[in-house]
A = this chain, B = another copy of it.
Amino acid sequence: MSKAETRAGKIAKDQLQSIIERIERLLEEKKAIADDVAAVYAEAKGNGYDTKALKAIVRMRAQDPNERAEFETILETYMQALGML
C-alpha cells in the first residue's frame, strides 16, 4: 500500500469506529432510560398499582383523543353485535 492509501484507510477506519461508538453510547443511554421506566413500574406495583392497566393508560394518552373516541365507538358496536356487552 502507498502512504496515501494507508492514510485513506486510516480515516475510513476512524470514521467507522466513531460511528459505532456514537451508536453504542446512545444505546447505553436508551438502556438506562428503559431501566428507569421499569423501575417506576416496579415501584408502582409495590404501591399496589396494576402495571398492565398503567401501560394501557400511557398508550391511550399517547393517542389522538378523537381517534381514540372513534375507535372505542366502533369497538363497542362490534362487541354489542357479538354479544360481548
Contact = CB atoms under 8 A, between A and B. Distances in A.
Contacts of A58: 20, 23-24, 27
A85 to B, nearest CB: 11
State the number of copies, please: 4
Given A15-B47, A50-B74, A81-B13, A61 B20 contact: yes
B84 A60 contact: yes
A57 interface: yes
Interface of A: 9, 12-13, 15-17, 19-20, 22-24, 26-27, 29-30, 33-34, 36-37, 40-41, 43-44, 47, 49-50, 52-54, 56-58, 60-62, 71, 74-75, 78-79, 81-82, 84
